[in-house]
Amino acid sequence: MADTYRFIVNRSRDFITLIDREYRYAIVNDSYCTAIERPREEILNHSVADVWGVDRFEQTIKPKLDECLAGSEVHFLDEFRFGSMRKSLHVSLYPYDVHGETTHALVFSHDITHLAEIESKLARYEYRDRTTGLYNRRSLEEMLVAEIERARRSSGAQTKGLLFVSLRSFKKINQNFGHHIGDLLLEHTANRVREVIRSSDIVFRFDGTNLVVLLTSIARPTDAAMVAQKISDEVAVPYQYHDQVITIDSHIGISLYPDDADDPTGLVERSNSSSVEAEERGLPFVFYDKTMHEQAIARMTTLSDLHAAIAAGALELYYHPIVRMADGAACIAGAEALIRWNHPERGLLAPDEFIELAEESRLIAAIDKWALFRSLARLASWLEHFDLFLSMNVSAHEFRDEFLPDIVRAALAQHPQIEPWRLKLELTERRTMHDPASSIEQMRELREIGVEIWIDDFGTGQSSLAYLKQLPATALKIDRGLVEGIDERENDRRYLAGIVESIRARGKRIIAEGVFNAAQARVVESLGCDYVQGYHFAYPMQAVEFEDLLRNGIAGRCTGCAPRVSLGSSTAGRSS
| pLDDT value of residue 570 | 38
Q: Which of 77-91, 471-485, 519-533, 542-556 has the lowest mean pLDDT?
A: 77-91
pLDDT at residue 29 tops 70: yes
What's the CATH fold of domain 2-116? Beta-Lactamase (3.30.450)
Dihedral angle computed from the Cα positions of residues 87, 93, 96 and 102, in that order, rounded to the nearest 10 degrees? 130
| pLDDT value of residue 44 | 94
User: Residue 565 gets which letter from DSSP?
Assistant: -
Residue ranges of E strands in 429-546: 452-458, 475-478, 509-513, 531-533
pLDDT at residue 95 tops 50: yes
Per CATH, 128-293 and 313-561 having the same topology is answered no
Answer left, alpha or beta for residue 470, where phi above 0 means left and psi between -120 and 50 means alpha. Answer: alpha
By the 8 A CB rule, do 566 and 420 touch? no
Q: Which of 78-82, 134-138, 286-290 has the lowest mean pLDDT?
A: 78-82
Answer left, alpha or beta for residue 245, where phi above 0 means left and psi between -120 and 50 means alpha. Answer: beta
What mean pLDDT comes out for the span 7-24? 91
Burial class of 8 by CB neighbour count within 10 A (0 to 12, 13 to 18, 19+): exposed
Class of domain 313-561: alpha beta
User: Residue 61 gets which letter from DSSP?
Assistant: I
| pLDDT value of residue 460 | 65
What mean pLDDT comes out for the span 188-202? 91
H-only helix segments in 315-435: 355-360, 364-382, 396-399, 404-413, 429-434
pLDDT at residue 335 tops 60: yes
CATH 3.30.70.270 fits 128-293, yes or no: yes
| pLDDT value of residue 462 | 53
More confident site: 573 or 481: 481
The domain spans of the chain are 2-116, 128-293, 313-561
Predicted confidence band of residue 41 (pLDDT cuts 50, 70, 90)? very high
pLDDT at residue 568 tops 60: no
Burial class of 149 by CB neighbour count within 10 A (0 to 12, 13 to 18, 19+): exposed
| pLDDT value of residue 565 | 40
By the 8 A CB rule, do 384 and 328 touch? no
Among residues 175, 195, 204, the alpha carbon closest in space to that of 264 is found at: 204
Mean model confidence pLDDT for the chain = 86
